[in-house]
Amino acid sequence: MTLSDFLDLMERIAPKELAWERDNPGLLIGTERKEIKRVLIALDATPVTVREAIDYGAELLLTHHPLFWNPVQRILPDDPETAAAYQLIRHGVGLFAAHTNLDAAQGGVNDQLSKVLRVLDAQPLPPDALGRIGRVEGFASFGAFAAFVQETLHTTVHVCGDMNAPISNVALIGGAGGSELPSVLAAGAGAFVTGELSHDRALWAQQAGLNVIVAGHYETERVVLEPLARRLQEAANDVQYKVTCLEGACLRGL
């Protein structure tokens, strides 16, 4: 597959038009290798995943989170902000990121999170369709659903709300969804699952009567990696796709 064909394929899977205006998806580091034969898939471009991509012989590293949220004035091998980019450039490995466009896309992060958490009839969450909202069945209470989320995502959840409250309509946004709390409440959700939430947003949810499950940024987004690899593999069998086996949550509970 040529690099151009890969870019076209990713545009079909996660169209750039779905990305937030301030986002930075797409081809972030180019490569002179026009034929793409191996791609490593990860949530982040870190020195660890970059080394794995190099050792794998990948022409491209495909990540969820982009690099360079803010302008950089220099790229240095010992600067944590640019070390990964330095190694990619040095070894001729390209970097492609699909971020909020993959969050919102059909079959993307939040569709996969809905599937894993058994959210039925999941629909795009207004107004920007980034998250999803649907219903859950078979849980006696919000606390029972929170325990299910913790077990299913293999994480330690934090909760804000009434553990004994009945559970029905659930909204979710993988990663950081705190800014969407008003939209979640307006959509009629009684519970909200997201990856991280600031203290002030947790207080807002508590005062608004919205039950919230915070399950980890990494844990709520990694669910997309294997399905994305399968989807890419089915579309082009002349490329080998591998999900990183070294990446893990950078923040862990004790």
Tens of pLDDT along 89-117?
999 999 999 999 999 999 999 999 999 99
Whether 37 contacts 240, CB under 8 Å: yes
Residue 250, judged by CB atoms within 10 A of its CB (0-12, 13-18, 19+), counts as exposed
Whether 123 contacts 132, CB under 8 Å: yes
Separation CA 212–CA 103 (nearest Å): 19
> In sequence order, what E strands does 30-129 have?
38-42, 60-63, 94-97, 120-124
> What per-residue confidence (pLDDT) applies to 249?
56
By DSSP bridging, strand 211-214 and strand 26-29 are unpaired
The residue assigned the tokens 């970097």 is 95
Residues 31-53 have a mean pLDDT of 96
pTM of the model: 0.95
Structure tokens at 123: 């629909």
> What per-residue confidence (pLDDT) applies to 157?
98
Q: Which helix (H) or strand (E) holds 253?
A: none
Angle between helices 3-13 and 225-235 (to 10 degrees): 120
The 10s digit of each residue's pLDDT in 139-173 is 999 999 999 999 999 999 999 999 999 999 999 99
Is the pLDDT at 252 greater than 70? The verdict is no
Whether 88 contacts 210, CB under 8 Å: no
Q: Cα dist. 33→29, 37, 45, 204 in Å?
A: 12, 10, 19, 50
Amino acid in position 29: I
Query: How would residue 68 be classed by pLDDT, with cut points 50, 70 and 90?
Result: confident
Separation CA 20–CA 101 (nearest Å): 7
Is the pLDDT at 234 greater than 60? The verdict is yes
Give me the sign of the Cα torsion angle 157, 161, 164, 169.
negative
Phi then psi for residue 68, to 5 deg, are: 60, 55
Half-sphere exposure of 39 (CA within 13 A, CB side): 30
